Amino acid sequence: MRTDTPQTIYRSDYTPPSYLVDTVELGFDLDPARTVVANRMTIRRNPDSAQREIELVGEDIELVALRLNGRLLEERDYAINGTMLTIPNAPEEATLEIETVCTPELNTTLSGLYTSNGNFFTQCEAEGFRRITYFPDRPDVMAVYTVMLRADKERYPVLLSNGNLVEEGDLGDGRHYAKWEDPFKKPSYLFALVAARLVCQEETFRLADGRDALLQVWVEEGNLDKTDYAMQSLKHSIRWDEERYGLELDLDRFMIVATGDFNMGAMENKGLNIFNTKFVLANPRVATDIDFQGIEAVVAHEYFHNWTGNRVTCRDWFQLSLKEGLTVFRDQEFTADMIGTESGRAVTRIDQVRTLRQAQFPEDAGPMAHPVRPDSFVEINNFYTVTVYEKGAEVVRMYQTLLGRDGFRKGMDLYFQRHDGQAVTCDDFRLAMADANGCDLSQFERWYDQAGTPVLRFEARYDEAARTYSITLFQSCPPTPGQPEKRPFHIPVAVGLLDREGRDMPLTLDGKNAGATVVLELTQAEQTFVFSNVAEQPVPSVLRDFSAPVILQHGYSDSDLLHLFSYDSDPVNRWEAGQRLAMGRLLKLTGEAAVSDRLNLDDTFIEAMRKMLTDDSLDAAFREQALLLPTETMIAEQLAVVDPLAVHMARQFMRANIGARLRSELLAQYEANQTPGAYSPDAVSSGKRALKNLALSYLNAAPDEETIALALRQCREADNMTDRAASLSALIHARAPEADAELARFYEEFKDEALVVDKWFAMQASAPTTDIAKVRELMRHPAFNLRNPNRARSLVAAYCMNNPVEFHAPNGSGYLFWAEHVTLLDALNPQVAARLARAMDRWRRYTPELQQHMKTALQQVAGQQRLSNDVREIVTKALA
C-alpha cells in the first residue's frame, strides 16, 4: 500500500516506450509462500522514442538478480525509484534477465499472481503484470511469450498458460512442468497462468475454415454439473463472430477457467480466459434466469475480446473504451441475435437503457464523471466504469445507427485491415468508420471527449394548411468536473410519427420517402426538420430504440404518453412512455410522501397498467419490462434534493396500489405464466417467469394471507432457483412471518454452493427489513468473509448500494458502517474497496441532515493515514 501523494496521469502526456520487447520467456517455480519468477526478454530501442533508458516497473516483488546481456548488474548500474526501475546507458539491443520473488498466498489484492482456495491464478489487467516481474507494463509494448510452469504435481495437477501447450513432463522431485507458447504478440496485461487442481468439460469444435479447436471449461471438482451453459455459450459466440463479422478463432485451443476469488466478471487473457465463478457455473437448481443471461453475455464478451482487444489492443489505458465499449456493443448484439425475435431484441435493448439510467447517468452527473476516453486518472482501476463500458457501447452503437449495419461492418473490416497486431486509439477506430464509409465523423469525436449526459428537447408544430410538421431539436450538456462548457454533439435522433389511430405515418423529409422511422442527425445546438405531406396532427415518437445516450426532456401530455404506450410500433419507446407515465406520478408522490401519509394514484394510470398486464398479444418479457417501475435510484436522479425515505414510500405505495387494485389480473397472470415441465433458460420461458414473479411481488406489496400462501407454496415447490429466489424475496419484502424459517431452510439446503450463499446474503442485505443491527449480525455469520469479493459485495455493497432506506438511516449509522468497511477492505483489496467507496458519489444530492453525516463519513475515510490510491482518488473527488 502506498502512502505518498497520488500522482495524476494525463492522456496528453503520452510518450512512446523507450524500448520494445520482442520475446519474453518466463519461468515460474510456483510455491504459495515463495514463487520465483525468471524473466528473460529480448529488447531493442524504439526508433519512435527520444528516451534512452530502459524503463521497467515492478510492484510488491523482490528483485533477486538483474542481468544485461549476461552481465550481472550491480546496484550502481540501475536505479529504483518507487515502482520504476531504470537502466541507463543500455545498448541498442539486449537480452535482459530478471529474477524476482513474490508471495501469492499473501496477495489479497487479487491483482498479479495470487492463490484462491489453494490454486494459483493471475490477473494482469490493467497493471498487474508488474506484480509478477519487472517489465514495461503498458499495453503498447507487445511481445511473444513462452512460459514454463513448474509446480508440485499432486497439489497442482493442471498447469495452464496462454496459447499452445508445447511440452510437459515430470521433474522427478514430485514436481512437474508444462511449457506454453503463445504465437501472437500481446501486451503484458493479457498474460495469464493457472496452476491448480481442477477438472474440465471439453469438446472439439469445427471452425468455419475447417480447423478443429479444443474448447475447455475448467472448474473445481464437484462443479462439472454446472459447465454446460458456459460451453454452449462459447460455441454460440464463436459461430456468431464468424457469421456476423467474419472473425475466426485464431488458436487451436481456447480455455475458460473459473475462480471463486475474482475482482471483476472475467478476463480475456489470450486463449486462457479467467472467470469469476459467477459467470461460469450454472444449473437450474442454483442459477437464476438472470445468471444464465449473465453467463451467456460474459462468455461472449471475453471471447469477442480476442479480436477487439487482443488482436487489436489499446495504445494506452485512456483508450480503454476502444476495446470495452466495442466489445460490450458486440456482446449486446450477440445477445439480441441469440433471442432472434424483434420483440426479444427490444427487451434486451430496454435492459441496456435501464442499466444506463440506473448506473451511468448518475456517474455522468456525479463527482466521478469522465469522458468515454478520460483525460486523466490517478488509478486506472477506477476507470473500469459504466461510462467506459456501457456509454462506450452506446457510442459504438451510434456509428451503426448513423452508417447502417453494412456501413458499420465495412468500418470494422477496415479497422482490422489497418490495425491487426497493433495498439491503437479511439481515433483510429473512428477514422476507420469514417474512411470505410466516405464520411466525416470529426464532430463525433466529442462523444469521446466530453463527459456528462446531453439533454435533448424538442418543440413541434403542425401546419394544417401546408400539411407540414416541423420538429425543432435542442441539445445542451451540463458542466462536469473540469469541463464547464460543452460543444454540441453529433446525435442520431430516430423519429417516427403516430397518427390518431396509433399507426406509423409514412414520412417524407426533404421531398424523399423516409419510411416509418427516420434518423435525424442533430449536429447543432438547435436544428429544425420539416416533414411534408403530413395528413393530420401526429404524436411524435422521438429517440426510437434509444438512438443516443441522452436525457430526452419531453413535453408530452398524459394523453400523448398513453397513446404511445398503447400503440408505438417501436417497442423501446412504447416501454419508455410507460416509464414516463410512472415517473411523473412517482415524483409527485415523493413530494407528497414527505409531508403526508395519505397518497393517491389515479385511475388512468392503473387502467394503462391493467391493459398492458392483460394484453396477451404481447410477449410476457415485454410486459414485465413495461410494468416494472423506475428504481428508487432513477427517481432520485430526477430530484434536486433527495429524501430517500420519501422516494421509497412513494414507490412502495405505487407498488402496493398496483398489487391491490389489479389483484385479480395479477393472480390470473400468475397462473397463466407458469412454466411447467423441465426448466429452460430460453427467452420465452424466462420472460414468463419474470412476469409471473413480478405479479407475485406486486401481490405481496399489498400482502394478505392469500398472497403470502402463494409465495410460500412457490418457495416450497420451486424446482429452479429463479422461482425459489423470487418467492423467498417476496416473503421477506412482505414481512411474512414465515420468511425467517424459509431463509433458514434456504441456507441449509444451499450452504455448500458459494454462489447461492451470496444470494442469501444479498437478498437480506437489500431488504428494507434489514437494519444496521441485522447487517452487523450477518457480518458475524460463519459464512461471511470480507476477503472474498463476491461475498463482500453480496453483503456490504448490497447494503450500501441496494438498500437505500436503511443505508440512509437519519442517524447516519449506514454511513459509518460504510466508512468502517471501505477502510477495512482497503487494507485487503483496494479495487473492491474503491467500488464500495462509490456508494457516496451522489452525497451532495441528499437532504442537508443526511449530507452532513455523509460528509463526516467521507472525511473519516479521507483522513486515514494509509489509503490506497484507488480509494483516495474516489473520496478526494467526492469531497472536491
Q: Which one, 43 or 297, has the nearer CB to Zn ion?
A: 297
Per-residue mark of binding to ligand 0A1, 809-838 (x: CB under 6 A): ----------------------x-------
Binding site partner of 266, from Zn ion, ligand 0A1, none, Cβ cut-off 5-8 A by kind = ligand 0A1
Cell numbers linked to 408: 458499420
Say if CB 276 and CB 129 are below 8 A apart: no
Cell numbers linked to 217: 471449461
Instruction: Count CA within 13 A, CB hemisphere, residue 425.
Output: 12
CB neighbour list of residue 226: distance below 8 Å, 6 or more residues apart: 219, 280, 281, 282, 283, 286, 287
Q: Which one, 191 or 807, has the nearer CB to ligand 0A1?
A: 191
Binding site partner of 308, from Zn ion, ligand 0A1, none, Cβ cut-off 5-8 A by kind = none
What is the 3-state secondary structure of 262-287?
CCCCEECCCCEEEEEHHHCCCCCCCC
Q: Which one, 162 or 263, has the nearer CB to ligand 0A1?
A: 263
Check binding of 324 to ligand 0A1 (CB under 6 A).
yes
> With left for phi above 0 and alpha for psi between -120 and 50, is residue 10 left, alpha or beta?
beta
Strands (DSSP E) contained in 93-198 are: 93-102, 112-116, 119-123, 142-152, 158-161, 164-170, 175-187, 193-196
Q: Which one, 266 or 372, has the nearer CB to ligand 0A1?
A: 266
Q: Which one, 267 or 477, has the nearer CB to ligand 0A1?
A: 267
Say if CB 11 and CB 376 are below 8 A apart: yes
Stretch that binds ligand 0A1, among 258-266, 443-451, 522-530, 686-694 (CB under 6 A): 258-266
Give the span between the Cα atoms of 743 and 727, in whole angstroms: 11
Binding site partner of 450, from ligand 0A1, Zn ion, none, Cβ cut-off 5-8 A by kind = none
Give the span between the Cα atoms of 329 and 544, in whole angstroms: 18
Binding site partner of 657, from Zn ion, ligand 0A1, none, Cβ cut-off 5-8 A by kind = none
Phi, psi dihedrals of residue 282, rounded to the nearest 5° = -160, 135
Stretch that binds ligand 0A1, among 13-21, 262-270, 398-406, 503-511 (CB under 6 A): 262-270
**Nearest position to ligand 0A1, beta carbon:** 264
Stretch that binds ligand 0A1, among 42-50, 180-188, 264-272, 359-367 (CB under 6 A): 264-272
Per-residue mark of binding to Zn ion, 312-341 (x: CB under 5 A): ------------x--x--------------
Q: Output the CA torsion sign for 710, 716, 718, 724.
A: positive
Q: In this structure, which amino acid lies at residue 547?
A: S
Q: What number of chain residues touch Zn ion (CB under 5 A)?
A: 2
Per-residue mark of binding to ligand 0A1, 118-157 (x: CB under 6 A): -----x-x--------------------------------
Long-range contacts of range 773-780, CB-CB < 8 Å, 24 or more positions apart?
Answer: 775/799, 775/806, 775/817, 776/817
Q: Which one, 381 or 813, has the nearer CB to ligand 0A1?
A: 381
Kindly tell me which residue out of 39, 116, 161, 263 binds ligand 0A1, with binding defined by CB under 6 A.
263
Q: In this structure, which amino acid lies at residue 556?
A: Y
Give the span between the Cα atoms of 393 and 352, in whole angstroms: 10
Kindly tell me which residue out of 265, 294, 478, 481 binds ligand 0A1, with binding defined by CB under 6 A.
265
DSSP secondary structure letters along 635-679? HHHT-SSB-HHHHHHHHHHHHHHHHHHTHHHHHHHHHHT---SS-
Q: Which one, 261 or 758, has the nearer CB to ligand 0A1?
A: 261
Stretch that binds ligand 0A1, among 146-154, 261-269, 354-362, 865-873 (CB under 6 A): 261-269
Q: Shortest gap between Cβ of 148 and ligand 0A1 (angstroms)? A: 25
Q: Shortest gap between Cβ of 123 and ligand 0A1 (angstroms)? A: 5
Q: Shortest gap between Cβ of 291 and ligand 0A1 (angstroms)? A: 17
H or E segment and range at residue 532: strand 526-532
Longest dimension (CA), the chain: 94
Binders of ligand 0A1 among 434-473, rule CB under 6 A? none
Give the span between the Cα atoms of 84 and 89, in whole angstroms: 16
Binding site partner of 633, from ligand 0A1, Zn ion, none, Cβ cut-off 5-8 A by kind = none
Give the span between the Cα atoms of 195 and 274, in whole angstroms: 12
Q: Which one, 149 or 264, has the nearer CB to Zn ion?
A: 264
Phi, psi dihedrals of residue 82, rounded to the nearest 5° = 60, -120
Binders of ligand 0A1 among 73-112, rule CB under 6 A? 111
Say if CB 284 and CB 679 are below 8 A apart: yes
DSSP secondary structure letters along 107-134? -TT-SEEEEETTEEEEE-TTTTGGGTS-
Binding site partner of 384, from Zn ion, ligand 0A1, none, Cβ cut-off 5-8 A by kind = ligand 0A1
Check binding of 306 to ligand 0A1 (CB under 6 A).
no
Residue that has been written with the C-alpha cell 510488491 in this structure: 60
Pseudo-torsion of CA 344, 345, 346, 349, nearest 10°? 130
Binding site partner of 267, from Zn ion, ligand 0A1, none, Cβ cut-off 5-8 A by kind = ligand 0A1
Phi, psi dihedrals of residue 394, rounded to the nearest 5° = -65, -40
Q: Shortest gap between Cβ of 272 and Zn ion (angstroms)? A: 15
Q: Which one, 201 or 327, has the nearer CB to ligand 0A1?
A: 327
Say if CB 48 and CB 16 are below 8 A apart: yes
Check binding of 266 to ligand 0A1 (CB under 6 A).
yes
Q: Shortest gap between Cβ of 126 and ligand 0A1 (angstroms)? A: 6
Give the span between the Cα atoms of 670 and 186, in whole angstroms: 52
Q: Shortest gap between Cβ of 263 and ligand 0A1 (angstroms)? A: 5
Binders of ligand 0A1 among 736-775, rule CB under 6 A? none
Q: Which one, 255 or 786, has the nearer CB to Zn ion?
A: 255
Check binding of 267 to ligand 0A1 (CB under 6 A).
yes
Check binding of 637 to ligand 0A1 (CB under 6 A).
no
Cell numbers linked to 58: 515492478
Q: Which one, 261 or 324, has the nearer CB to ligand 0A1?
A: 324
Q: Write out the catalytic residue numbers.
A: 302
Q: What number of chain residues touch ligand 0A1 (CB under 6 A)?
A: 15
Per-residue mark of binding to ligand 0A1, 367-396 (x: CB under 6 A): --------------x--x------------
Judged by the rule CB under 5 A, the positions of this chain that interact with Zn ion are 324, 327
Q: Which positions lie near ligand 0A1, rule CB under 6 A?
A: 111, 123, 125, 263-268, 301-302, 324, 381, 384, 831
